[in-house]
Every structure is written in C-alpha cells, then in structure tokens.
Amino acid sequence: MVVRSLNVHDDPFRPREDEEEILGPEIPYLSAIGALMYLANNTRPDIAFSVNLLARHSSSPTRRHWNGVKHVFRYLNGTIDLGLLYRNGVNATLAGYADAGYLSDPHKAKSQTEYVFTYGDTAISWRSMKQTLTATSSNHAELIALYEAGRECVWLRLMVHHIQSECGIPTITSHPTPIYEDNTACIAQVKGGYIKGDRTKHISPKFFSTHDLEKDGKVEIKQIKSSENPADLFTKALPPKRFEELVHKIGMRRLRQLC
C-alpha cells in the first residue's frame, strides 16, 4: 500500500465524500475484499493491514478504494512465490510481538491493534484490526494491543501444549512466553498492575489482565526497539525497504531465495 498522507483531506483511503460516486455492482469490490481477507488470514500476513483498511469501506467504496484494491492485487501478482517458510528444529520457541498504531484512523479517532506470534521465527498467528474503543493516548492504545496479544497467547500456549503432548514431544509451556512491546510506559504499567491514578483511572482494569498472566508465569513482557518490532508491519503503510525487512523478519521467503 502506498504511504498515506498525514493530512486527513489528502489521505487516498479516507471515507467517501459527499460528492463522490459509489461504485456500481459491475465492479466486484466485495468479492475482491473477501478473496483478499482469505489470503490475509491464512497465508499472506504481509497484506493484513492493507486489507483491513480497505475492508472498512465495503459499504460505500469509491474509485479511490478500488485503486487500492488493484494495487494489492498487483503486489500479489508480483510476489506470487512469496510464502511462510517453516523449518524443523530452528529456534522452535513461541514468541509474541505487540504494537499499536495511535489514531491509525484519524477520521474516526480510532487506533489500530496489531500482534504477531512466531514459532521457529515464522509467523503462526497475527491480527491487524481497528480498535472499537477511542484510545486517549498512545499508551492507552498500546495497553489495549497488549491485552489482545495476551489473550491470543493463552490460547496458543494451550494449542502448542496439546500438539506436543499428543505427538510425544517434551512440552515447553512451563516457561513463560515472551511478548515484546516497544512502549516503555506501557510495560511499566503492566508490570505494576492496575493502579488508579490520574493517568490510568479512565482505562478499564481488564486491560491490565496481562499483569496477572505475567504473575502466573504464562507470559513475560519484554522491551524491544520500535525499529525491530515485526508487529509494525501490521500498523501502517510502510516504505518499500522497511516493508520488505519486516516481511523477511516474520519468516516469509520467496522460492527464488531458497534456490
């Protein structure tokens, strides 16, 4: 996806304006979004954010949004041999990365929640979605993202334990699963638990449940640099070089690279 403008009036993927015409039934916008969502949810995490953004306008798409869909299709056509590469015995541990895009939707004052979990350095679970709550700060948005990542982590640990026990593999779920976050204030608040103060009294206590998971030894929140966080791939439209670096970081490879 092309890098979006910070000016809400110049954003090519802004909501339909009053004078713009809605696409007719001859243009299969909904069918295209459905096909892209299938790919984004199963084998192509690199298009997750773009598809999530374009799917918001399914009820009233315009020519601008259709151009964005065609742009994604052109990217897929040029990277048809790109996929997730899983290897045996290479750093076979579960790790999570969480991030948030504050005011990713400036038109509705909503932020973006993103997380990705890797096993053996390759993504096995990921999500990019617009938050339903209005985050009052970047710290608030990060807490919501970390809360969603913690919920996913609990389920993944149970799934990994079940697979390992059924296959006779020694289980490793006794160790906490690291979840990497790049917001220092968010990490400090989660580790301290919910404390009612001027900065946090408006935040629902449930978003601090990750503190209990860490206390029970299920997760371990760790600091990571923003430039090294793979979850940034699901946060915003990125420049090509940065985009390719993060795609490689979540374990996606092209067949020609393997040869």
Q: Is residue 202 part of a domain?
A: yes
At which of 55, 80, 105 does a domain end? 80
Question: CA 252, CA 124: separation in Å to the nearest integer?
Answer: 11
Of 80, 100, 123, at which residue does a domain stop?
80
Whether residue 12 is found in the same domain as residue 88:
no
* Average pLDDT of every residue of the chain: 91
Domain end marker among 45, 80, 115? 80
pLDDT score recorded for residue 107: 87
Q: What is the CATH number of the domain that holds 220?
A: 3.30.420.10
For residue range 194-222, list pLDDT tens digits in order: 887 777 888 888 999 999 999 999 999 99
Indicate whether 94 pLDDT > 70: yes
Establish if 21 belongs to a structural domain.
Answer: yes
pTM: predicted TM-score of the whole model, two decimal places: 0.92
Residue 31, pLDDT > 90, answer: yes
Provide the 8-state DSSP code for 143: H
Which segment of 55-64, 83-92, 134-143, 232-241 scores lowest on mean pLDDT? Answer: 83-92
Spatial CA neighbour of 48 closest among 112, 143, 144: 112
pLDDT at position 43 over 90: yes
What's 96's DSSP letter? E
Number of domain units in the chain: 2
pLDDT band at 173 (very low <50, low <70, confident <90, very high): low
Residue 10 domain boundaries:
1-80
In this predicted model, which residue has the larger pLDDT, 224 or 91? 224
Average pLDDT over residues 53-82: 95
- Residue written as token pair 């593999």: 169
Position 7 confidence tier, pLDDT thresholds 50, 70, 90: confident
* For residues 134-162, average pLDDT: 93
Closest CA relative to residue 117, chosen from 77, 160, 74: 160
pLDDT at site 5: 78
Instruction: Judge whether residue 90 has pLDDT over 70.
Output: no
Output 5-12 pairs: Cβ under 8 A, ≥24 positions apart.
8/106, 8/107, 11/106, 11/107, 12/64, 12/67, 12/68
CA 119 to chain centre: 16
pLDDT at residue 172, rounded to an integer: 60
Position 122 scores a pLDDT of 94
Q: What is the pLDDT of residue 258?
A: 84
d(CA 107, CA 127): 22
User: Residue 2's pLDDT band (boundaries 50, 70, 90)?
Assistant: confident
Helix (H) or strand (E) holding 256: helix 255-258
Q: Residues, the chain, total?
A: 259
Q: What is the pLDDT of residue 91?
A: 63
